[in-house]
Structure 1
């Protein structure tokens, strides 16, 4: 495959030609009803084959070094469709312990209804996955870097283990984005994204992606047309526009996150910082070997004497918000947002606690972000000092 540079792919691959007016961007086709006679393709939005859908999927496949891709109405639509494509009654799936809370909730509340068994690993080393494999295991599901503690799973080792056992591998690649990590290059079979995040990048699009081989994507298609998780063509068009700048946005976010991680690591009011770009991170060398950049996400824990809720309220520039990966910097509490659907016991198993702040770095000047962190901490500390 002739692999072009990531920015070239983001801008040009899969674009639609404006044959009538010769505009430089893809035209938008809003129709939900197309001709069925004397046409090569019978197009219908729920069949993921309108002109804008097809064009965007070519771009997404190229970004993930995949043969094919499909776009969905949300990240969870992609995840649930993917899981239900490759699992059926009597099957078993092994899942990484550190997962996005929505995925965890889907597995814990839905799979047993369909007679599908599941096991969560005790860690994220390849030995942890091997211990959970059963004779009927059909899928291994991973997430790296993980949400919210940025653990790193060895892509090559997990894919080799799965291949030896005839097991399909799936990964949530949202936190890395295709700019920083391409799991298919390491042998992973199916790549999933919440395109709401780095692909959209402006906090105004909700979408999901699955990318894999032509053979696997044909199976996904047969499930997807039944579940109806397609995306409106206007949103598809907006997403294609947003992806054009993904490379430069993500690189700027990588840079900001590295600088912020280093600053927070030296801040006496911060207990822990989780960021794979730091040499102190347990998985730093592994991340360095399989990532092109360390991402725009980090998590930190404030000292126990600092009220996290008051810290959020004291921020002036950085926005407390539920989602992530926009050009604006945001913070959230995993306990109250991304992992709220998990039980307190399950959160403890994953190492998630109420003092943690998940930080999505935007593209603002790092000095302004540091200033905002410092004034917020100072305000909280002054408010809690006894009179």
Structure 2
């Protein structure tokens, strides 16, 4: 498809990366479910584990267009995307710097697996660029960041990290799941490799498990070379569902952005709430930086209830908002990170990241905010009784 760079975001979502139905001229992409393709007389020798079936190939074009990169790959899960990208650029004797606040699955993968591979790692003490610089060693190959972070919505200065890394010949990677390419495109700030749990906003309907990586063709080739050996591909039915979901990505995320800001403002003045973590609030420590590098502030927030209100009891009283694992569906959900996303971390490790037992992560959906507020109010009322 020509002139992709000139297309608006909704046009990219709706049209780029669709598989043409040449036979019946259908309006949506056909699904090619075959796991066996011809190898003679063809331009591409297709095989599902090589990430190049027709549906896989075209979906990658849509993701690359959304992230403004040359190329992209899709995986069976977000962690498959994270682990494959990291192992593509790290080997025995190498060192990686990771920011202090990270998704629990990523943190657990690093601390449980890297020593087996002889890979050294360091976590920064804060998100200050000086702390990243302090951790650099002669064998540092990768700097890995996540912004906004899960679950405290901290913001990392992408431009500063990129500038530091480029000066030292270090590759930068970012988990862009919370922001989505609708709210920020890290390539504009010099980040090399962009990673997503496509299970979340890209899927958007709580029915897809997938991951994605977007980068230059050179970097994607390196990731592909190890990806084909690790086998983290996904079925073409899931690929088809993900391509379908991405058509409404901008529409969904824009509404979730709007709703999350309203809910954050409501919770910030609620006398039953102790603290709210949302970069779109002017009182957030990273508000100015978030405004500088994000188009909007996202659909995720976290909050702590005042002392005396049990977080789990509160969630059990919710009727509309679902106490549920994962995030970013069209329906609003809440969870306790200590019980779910960060349960693999020890209490000491969670404390280092500032994750308290009473913290609640709120994935704001597309519902009417008045209905969400009413649900929270009734749940708090029952807890106060």
Structure 1, residues 192-224: CA drift from partner, whole Å, max 9, x if none?
Answer: 000000000000000000110000000000000
Pick the aligned partner of 1:338 from 320, 341, 344.
341
Query: Is it true that 1:254 corresponds to 2:261 in the alignment?
Result: no
Pick the aligned partner of 1:82 from 81, 85, 91.
85
Pick the aligned partner of 2:213 from 207, 210, 213.
210
Pick the aligned partner of 1:95 from 87, 93, 98.
98
Aligned partners of 1:18 and 1:239: how far apart in 2? 18
8 Å contact 2:5–2:65 — kept in the other structure?
A: no
Correspondence for 1:385: none
Aligned partners of 1:126 and 1:346: how far apart in 2? 22
Aligned partners of 2:6 and 2:326: how far apart in 1? 31
Correspondence for 2:276: 273
Aligned partners of 2:184 and 2:299: how far apart in 1? 13
Correspondence for 1:144: 147
Aligned partners of 2:260 and 2:289: how far apart in 1? 18
Correspondence for 2:297: 294
Per the alignment, in what secondary structure is the counterpart of residue 140 of structure 1? strand
The CA deviation at 1:128 is 1.2
| Count of matched residue positions in the alignment of Structure 1 and Structure 2 | 382
Aligned partners of 2:260 and 2:271: how far apart in 1? 19
Query: Is it true that 1:17 corresponds to 2:17 in the alignment?
Result: no
Pick the aligned partner of 2:38 from 28, 35, 39.
35
Correspondence for 2:201: 198
Correspondence for 1:177: 180
The CA deviation at 1:4 is 1.9
Aligned partners of 2:238 and 2:128: how far apart in 1? 38
Where does 1:369-380 land on structure 2 (aligned, <5 Å)?
369-380=372-383
Structure 1, residues 88-120: CA drift from partner, whole Å, max 9, x if none?
Answer: 000000000100000000000000100000000
Aligned partners of 1:29 and 1:314: how far apart in 2? 45
The CA deviation at 1:2 is 2.3
Pick the aligned partner of 2:66 from 63, 74, 90.
63
Aligned partners of 1:174 and 1:322: how far apart in 2? 16
Pick the aligned partner of 2:160 from 133, 157, 162.
157
Aligned partners of 1:191 and 1:304: how far apart in 2? 39
Correspondence for 2:243: 240
Runs in 1 of length 4+ with deviation above 4 angstroms?
none
Calculate the TM-score normalised by the size of structure 2.
0.99
Per the alignment, in what secondary structure is the counterpart of residue 38 of structure 1? coil
Calculate the TM-score normalised by the size of structure 1.
0.98
Aligned partners of 1:275 and 1:5: how far apart in 2? 28
The CA deviation at 1:227 is 0.3
Aligned partners of 2:11 and 2:228: how far apart in 1? 31
Structure 1, residues 55-99: CA drift from partner, whole Å, max 9, x if none?
Answer: 000000000011000000000000000000000000000000100
